[in-house]
Each structure stands twice: as structure tokens, then as C-alpha cells.
């Protein structure tokens, strides 16, 4: 029902013939996600792109056992328009997500990512006093598994992680931190802030404190994207 059937490691969604040496894998209990009305979450669009304020707790695109309950599938259905992913946010992360309306726009935006021409600003909520303002560089171990392990010295099989802490505002026991993401490693902000001693609130994957909320909604949001588009600088932002 949710696209969790694979034949020889390829997803299938229609009847097909199975031969004697074929390998069939069925996910009988797919991970489930809420279905939401997403049109009201669109904060910007032009001829080639749209930007949506992604709710936390939803995947951006199909997962291995569920190809229907995600931002891309539901937005395509609600807009009656074929859409193309350009990048992703973690399931528990919210904020600005860019989706292309055609393959040319998708390729163009992804090239900007490769060329590091997109400025990405996030807001994270951590325990006060929060990390020091300024540039932070660490090294993440290359592994397909999470949580990600980062360190402050370069070792074999690691990749550099860079971010800037632009500002922080302390309110009682919380620090509201603005983060510029320079490199875009999986779970990078989450792992680096945890390594610095300030895991993001509600992020049970990177914090072992008992009072962390065990859900898929953490206090991390992409609040500003700035990039060149059609000969001008385009900035999309949420209230920050």
C-alpha cells in the first residue's frame, strides 16, 4: 500500500512476475507519518521554484518503506503538479525547503548547492549559555548510521564540518542560537552542537538527558535561504 515492496532491490508499485531466483522484500509495518494540508505552508514561489515551510515530523521525500506520506508526494497531490526535490531537511527539523517545478530548475539549484552559493541560516534552541559565537570546525566520521560521531581532530575516514554561530539570545534557561551552515553533512548542526555540549532541545538522538521529549520534532528550523537566481539575489526567510 505504501510502496514498501522491493523486487531485486528495486521498489515496485504494480503487479509483476516473480521468477525462481528473484529476491522479494516486503516491509509489512511501514513507518507512518501524518498527512497535512501543505498549500498554506508555501512561503514563496516563482516559475521554477517553490519554498515551503516544512513542518517537523515529516520526511521530505519517500522513505525506504513509505513512498506516500512525505512532503513531496502530498504537495504534488495537493497542487496537481509534478515536483522535483532539490535538497532535504531531517525528519524532525522544520523550516525552509526548496522544491523545483521542473528538471531544469532542479539541476540549477543543485548546482548552486555544489558550488556553495546558497547561504543557509538556522535557528536552534539549546540550554543556556549556548555555544560560543564564531566559527566552529569539526570532523565527522563517515558512516551511514546515526547518531553521527564528530571530533575536533582530523582522522582517517572523516569529513570536515563547518558552521558559524552568528548570534545567540538567552531567555531564562534557553539559548536561541542562529547558525550559518557552511558544509551540509547529514545531522551536522545536531551533531556539532551536541559535541560542543549544547544538544538541541528535544533531540533525543543526540542528548541522553531523561527529560528530553521522545518524538520526531526538535527545536531546529531553517529560517533563511539566500542564493542567486535569474540574475538577482533571492532571499526567503521566516520570522527570526
Instruction: Give the phi and the psi of residue 194 in degrees, each rounded to 5.
Output: -65, -40
Q: Cα 136 vs. chain centroid, distance in angstroms?
A: 20
The residue to which cell 509495518 is assigned: 29
The grid coordinates of residue 48 equal 521554477
| Banded pLDDT at 32 (limits 50, 70, 90) | confident
Q: In DSSP terms, which residues pair with 99 in a beta bridge? A: 50, 85
Task: Check: pTM over 0.85? Answer yes or no.
Answer: yes
Report which secondary-structure segment, H or E, holds 94.
strand 94-100
Neighbours of 228 (CB within 10 A): 13
Mean pLDDT, to the nearest integer, of 165-192?
97
User: Residue 211: what pLDDT?
Assistant: 45
3-state secondary structure 109-152: HHHHHHCCCCEEEEEEEEECCCCCCEEEEEEEECCCCCCCCEEC
User: Residue 107: what pLDDT?
Assistant: 98
Asked if 184 contacts 84 with a C-beta cutoff of 8 angstroms, the reply is: no
CA-to-CA distance for 150 and 197, rounded, in angstroms? 12
| Banded pLDDT at 46 (limits 50, 70, 90) | very high
Q: In DSSP terms, which residues pair with 124 in a beta bridge? A: 177, 220
Mean pLDDT, to the nearest integer, of 89-113?
97
First to last CA, the chain: 40
Number of H helices, E strands in the chain: 3, 14
Per the model's pLDDT, the better-predicted residue between 103 and 217 turns out to be 103
Percent of the chain with pLDDT over 90: 76
Q: Cα 232 vs. chain centroid, distance in angstroms?
A: 26
Neighbours of 193 (CB within 10 A): 26
CA-to-CA distance for 125 and 96, rounded, in angstroms? 17
Per-residue pLDDT for 210 more than 70? no
Report which secondary-structure segment, H or E, holds 53.
strand 49-54
> CA nearest 215: which of 231, 201, 229, 198?
201
The grid coordinates of residue 64 equal 525506504
User: Residue 1: what pLDDT?
Assistant: 66
Q: Which of 34-38, 214-218, 236-240 has the lowest mean pLDDT?
A: 214-218
Amino acid at each position: 500500500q505504501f510502496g514498501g515492496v522491493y523486487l531485486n532491490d528495486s521498489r515496485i508499485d504494480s503487479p509483476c512476475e516473480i521468477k525462481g531466483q528473484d529476491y522479494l522484500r516486503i516491509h509489512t509495518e511501514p513507518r507512518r507519518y501524518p498527512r497535512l494540508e501543505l498549500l498554506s505552508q508555501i512561503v514563496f514561489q516563482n516559475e521554477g521554484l517553490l519554498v515551503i515551510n516544512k513542518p517537523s515530523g515529516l520526511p521530505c521525500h519517500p522513505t525506504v518503506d513509505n513512498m506516500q506520506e512525505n512532503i513531496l508526494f502530498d504537495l504534488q497531490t495537493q497542487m496537481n503538479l509534478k515536483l522535483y526535490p532539490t535538497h532535504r531537511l531531517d525528519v524532525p527539523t522544520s523550516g525552509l525547503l526548496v522544491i523545483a517545478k521542473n528538471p531544469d530548475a532542479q539541476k540549477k539549484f543543485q548546482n548552486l548547492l555544489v558550488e556553495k552559493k546558497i547561504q543557509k541560516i538556522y535557528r536552534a534552541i539549546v540550554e543556556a549559555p549556548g555555544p560560543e559565537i564564531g566559527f566552529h570546525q569539526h570532523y565527522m566520521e563517515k558512516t551511514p548510521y546515526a547518531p553521527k560521531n564528530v571530533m575536533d581532530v582530523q582522522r582517517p575516514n572523516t569529513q570536515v564540518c563547518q558552521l558559524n554561530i552568528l548570534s545567540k539570545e538567552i531567555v531564562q534557561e534557553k539559548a536561541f542560537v542562529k547558525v550559518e551552515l557552511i558544509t551540509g553533512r547529514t545531522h551536522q548542526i545536531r551533531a556539532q552542537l551536541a559535541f560542543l555540549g549544547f544538544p538541541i532541545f528535544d533531540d533525543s538522538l543526540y542528548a541522553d538527558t531523561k527529560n528530553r521529549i521522545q518524538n520526531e520534532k526538535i527545536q531546529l528550523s531553517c529560517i533563511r535561504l539566500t542564493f542567486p537566481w535569474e540574475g538577482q539575489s533571492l532571499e526567503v526567510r521566516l520570522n527570526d
